[in-house]
Amino acid sequence: AQKVTQAQTEISVVEKEDVTLDCVYETRDTTYYLFWYKQPPSGELVFLIRRNSFDEQNEISGRYSWNFQKSTSSFNFTITASQVVDSAVYFCALSEAGGGSQGNLIFGKGTKLSVKP
Amino acid sequence: DGGITQSPKYLFRKEGQNVTLSCEQNLNHDAMYWYRQDPGQGLRLIYYSQIVNDFQKGDIAEGYSVSREKKESFPLTVTSAQKNPTAFYLCASGTSRYEQYFGPGTRLTVT
């Protein structure tokens, strides 16, 4: 069965601290995709990144970086030098390539990040 | 501008009434999705459509119905059979590369 677990319900940091959001997934497929989305207070989900299961290279985009490790089924997200604008709920999601539900996303329950000035 | 629009942002209905939530996209995406979000929860899939005139049930389809008559539009009807309709509803559209882009959402309150 496919499942995404975000064990951290809420995290609070002070501005300029680094913070890592954990994501652990379960899937039987060998081909799958992992995503991170940001949901600010306005409610809209903002796409941050997509990785496929064959690409374990870590990725950096500005202050954001992602660590994908198939050996531990984890896809963690780190924000370096956090800012107040990073305050949001962050969702990790999984999509399996096979079967009739191609492209459907399975979401974790989200981690609420609060960055205090 | 390209994007996904959902209207209205806030919707109030009396119990027992059907209500239809609008979702329009001009991204030329084939696939469209409806999700429901409850407080402190992740998103759960209600219905999805990979192509015009075809759609499939997601994990929590009971009490909902959809149509896909045009590529750009995927309205969701919350029927009176839905026992707990108050929630935040998000529509998304996707590319063949498994990327989904979300609309701003509609917050439905049923009293």
Q: In chain A, which residue's Cα lies nearest the Cα of B39? A: A109
A33-54 as b/e: b if 16+ CB within 10 A = bbbbbbbeeebbbeebbbbebe
Q: DSSP 3-state assignment of B4? A: strand
Q: Look at residue B22 in the predicted model and tell me its pLDDT.
A: 96
Q: Look at residue A101 in the predicted model and tell me its pLDDT.
A: 54
Q: Look at residue B64 in the predicted model and tell me its pLDDT.
A: 97
Q: Look at residue B1 in the predicted model and tell me its pLDDT.
A: 60
Q: Look at residue A62 in the predicted model and tell me its pLDDT.
A: 93
Q: In chain B, which residue's Cα lies nearest the Cα of A44? A: B104
From A18's Cα to the closest Cα of chain B, the distance in A is 24
Residues B38-66: tens digit of each pLDDT: 987 889 999 999 899 999 999 899 999 99
| Closest by Cβ to A43, choosing from B92, B96, B105 | B105
| DSSP state for residue A101 in the 8-state scheme | T
What is d(CA B81, CA B44) in angstroms, rounded to the nearest whole number?
A: 18
Q: Look at residue A80 in the predicted model and tell me its pLDDT.
A: 96
Per the CB < 8 A criterion, the answer to whether A60 and A76 are in contact is: no
User: Across the interface, do B56 and A108 touch by the CB < 8 Å criterion?
Assistant: no
A74 token code pair: 């984890």
What is d(CA A32, CA A93) in angstroms, rounded to the nearest whole number?
A: 11
pLDDT string in tens for chain A (117-residue length): 789 999 999 999 999 999 999 999 999 988 899 999 999 998 899 999 989 898 888 888 899 999 999 999 999 999 999 999 999 999 999 988 765 555 678 899 999 999 999
Dihedral-angle region of residue B98 (phi above 0 means left; psi in -120 to 50 means alpha; beta otherwise): left
Residues B84-95: tens digit of each pLDDT: 999 999 999 987
What is d(CA B61, CA B81) in angstroms, rounded to the nearest whole number?
A: 11
What is d(CA A16, CA A18) in angstroms, rounded to the nearest whole number?
A: 7
- Residues in chain A closer than 8 A to B102 (CB atoms): 37, 44-47
Q: Look at residue B85 in the predicted model and tell me its pLDDT.
A: 94
What is d(CA B58, CA A2) in angstroms, rounded to the nearest whole number?
A: 14
